Copies of this chain bind each other. A is one copy, B any other.
């Protein structure tokens, strides 16, 4: 009890850095769960236990806040190399339901991609995400690919992952969420390899 904060305030009172961080965290979660359009500033502010008007103060506008959230998501998102295609296929098809609050490097690529999928319908949000993906993620993935056309193939890999997550989590396809989903892992693995590896390496395990 002697550890109580000296001021009688129950929480932080005047800490702009902490406030910014709280807004950012709440925004990441809300945007990921509901998408850019459906997520309201009032809802984000309520989740962050912060006055609504402070968001506009710190981030300028809803777009500004979103851009910062997207950048953060893809900066920290998991790296995917051709060697990890097997694990990626498994994670995409079976994971994703646990650890919804995982932040940072622990977060699966699903975090950023889910955010992208749910906000892609808004053209402004789509432009922001495209820019961030190409700058933060696609470039690193392309550098890890062998052979030629690495940029395009990296984009193709991202597209395949996004498509699976879309059908599984947004549409909720029963065929991708049932107990038989594990049997699809080899197929998805082969599809990823077909894009990530060169033809002569296809058979490698």
Question: A: which residues have CB within 8 A of B?
Answer: 34-35, 37-38, 116-122, 126-127, 129-130, 133-134, 138, 148-149, 151-156, 158-164, 166-168, 170-176, 178, 180-181, 183-184, 187-188, 190-195, 199, 202
B173 in contact with A134 (CB, 8 Å): yes
A130 in contact with B172 (CB, 8 Å): yes
Also in contact, A152 and B172, with CB within 8 A (given A120-B166, A190-B195): no
Give bound CA distance, A181 to B155, whole Å. Answer: 11
B194 in contact with A153 (CB, 8 Å): no
Also in contact, A156 and B187, with CB within 8 A (given A126-B171, A130-B171, A130-B172): yes
Residue of B with least CB distance to A150: B175
The majority secondary structure among interface residues of chain A is: helix
Give bound CA distance, A26 to B119, whole Å. Answer: 24
B194 in contact with A190 (CB, 8 Å): yes
Also in contact, A153 and B184, with CB within 8 A (given A166-B163, A175-B134): yes
What would 28 A/B residue contacts be, using CB atoms closer than 8 Å?
A34-B121, A38-B121, A117-B166, A119-B121, A120-B170, A121-B170, A126-B172, A127-B172, A130-B172, A134-B175, A148-B183, A149-B183, A152-B176, A152-B181, A155-B173, A156-B188, A156-B191, A158-B163, A158-B167, A159-B160, A160-B160, A160-B191, A162-B163, A163-B163, A163-B166, A187-B194, A187-B195, A191-B192
* Minimum C-beta distance from A124 to chain B (A): 11
